[in-house]
Every structure is written in C-alpha cells, then in structure tokens.
Amino acid sequence: MDELYFLFFLIIPLIAQARVNSAYKKYSKINNSMNLTGKDVARMILDKNGLNNISIGEVQGELTDHYNPAIKHINLSDKIYSESSIASVAVAAHECGHAIQDKENYGFLRFRTAMVPVVNFTSRFSSIFIILGIVSSYINLIDIGILLLMVGLLFQLITLPVEFDASKRAKEELIKCGLMSKNDTKGTNKVLKAAAFTYVAGFLAMALQILRLIAIRNRD
C-alpha cells in the first residue's frame, strides 16, 4: 500500500510538468497574430499600467523567465524575449502580472518575497541535517531537516496563488491592451495555465520528498 501511495504522488508532478512542456513547445512554434515579441508585449503592458520604471532584460535558458521585485526588473528567456510566438506573448504577460501585483502590494507576493532569504537558508541546511541524521542514525537530526524542508513547502504553497493570479492578470491585460486576437486565445490560455501549473508540480515534488523522508525516519 505504501508503494502505491508514493507512486501516486510521484505521477502527479510528472503529469503536471509534462503538461507544461507540451503547451510551451507547441505554442512556441506558432506565431502570434500581432507579430509581437515577448519584449514588445511586456513593454506595452508595463507602460499601459504606469510601470515605465520597470526594465526588461534577456536571460539564457528555457522557461527561466522571472520578475525581480527588489530591482524592478523582468527577465525573459532568450526565445520569449526575441521571438513572436503565442508562448512568448503569454509568458511575457505572465511576468508583467507579477509586476502589477508588486505595484498593488499583492499580499501573497509580499509574503513570498519576504520568505526568500529564509528559504535560501533552510534549503541550504536541510540536506546537511538529513544526511548527518541518516548516517549517524540520529533521528532528531532528520527531524530538523524535515522541518527545514517544510519551510520550503510553505513557500511553494504561498507561490501557488501568486502564480495563478499572475496568469489571470496576464489574460486580462492582453485583452485590455488589445494584444490577443481571437485566433490566439486558445493557445494563450493553455500557456498561461501551464505557466501556473509549473509551480503545482514543484509543490507536489517537494511534498513527495518530505513524505519519503518521513517514511525513512519512521522505519528507523
């Protein structure tokens, strides 16, 4: 029964990640009707919302796009930044959604931002306590490691409403700014949902890791 339980929780994040990759790959090959790059769309949405102070830059990698509230800067991965695909428009708009959240002091974003240094600390030391606990068979060290991981799980949980709200705002902005034609609606919706579900996969993967560690701890 335990094996089936863990298999179930293992499959869910894999399905979520597969959904993300499928939507992104499909719509990164289809041009948007407006022939606008991700950078173009991001600049238009930001300026329409009075966010001229936010800069837009290019970063290497795939789906490495993110908004940095500390320096008011949006990083778009190279393809999103320079290509005019449906995926480029959707992902760029999603990051603008975070910038608008920041402007409006969206509570969950504020909480998540405040947690970043704490999570950086706990994620760095959790594995050390867990390894030492397993090697030494000292249960208390494993417990400390699990508690530190649970801080990261809380961070992932708080991230979920932030990401779903950013996708919701992105769709609203694309419609309001006239940047999403009828032909692009289906693909844009799928990419925006996929962008948010990336974090569902991350949350479930971390939850699975913690459940595995609890099982190891209980066996010992």
Sole residue written with tokens 């705002």: 169
For 187-202, the pLDDT digits (tens) are 999 999 887 787 887 8
The confidence band for 28, taking pLDDT boundaries of 50, 70 and 90, is: very high
Please tell me which residue, 29 or 6, carries the higher pLDDT value: 29
How far is the C-alpha of 58 from the C-alpha of 16, rounded, in Å?
26
Q: What is the pLDDT of residues 135-169, one digit of tens each?
A: 887 888 989 999 999 999 999 999 999 999 999 99
Long-range CB contacts (within 8 A, 24+) of 118-124: 118/151, 119/151, 119/152, 119/155, 122/148, 122/149, 122/151, 122/152, 123/148, 123/149, 123/152
Strand partners, 75: 57, 66
In this predicted structure, what is the pLDDT of residue 203? 87
- Tell me how far apart the alpha carbons of residues 138 and 86 are, in angstroms, rounded to a whole number: 53
Q: How far apart are CA 2 and CA 71, in angstroms?
A: 46
pTM of the full predicted structure?
Answer: 0.87
Q: With contact defined as beta carbons under 8 Å apart, do 83 and 38 qualify?
A: yes
Using the 8-state DSSP alphabet, how is residue 51 labeled? -
103 within 8 A of 117, measured Cβ to Cβ: no
**What SS3 class is residue 147?**
helix
Q: How confident is the model at residue 1 (pLDDT cuts 50, 70, 90)?
A: very low
**Angle at CA 100, nearest 5°, toward 89 and 161?**
85
Is 173 noted as a catalytic residue in this protein?
Answer: no
Mean pLDDT, rounded, of the chain = 90
pLDDT tens for residues 89-117? 999 999 999 999 999 999 999 999 999 99
For tokens 């760029």, what's the residue?
Answer: 92
The residue annotated as part of the active site, out of 83, 95, 163, 173, is 95
Looking at the chain, which runs of residues are DSSP E strands?
55-59, 66-68, 73-77
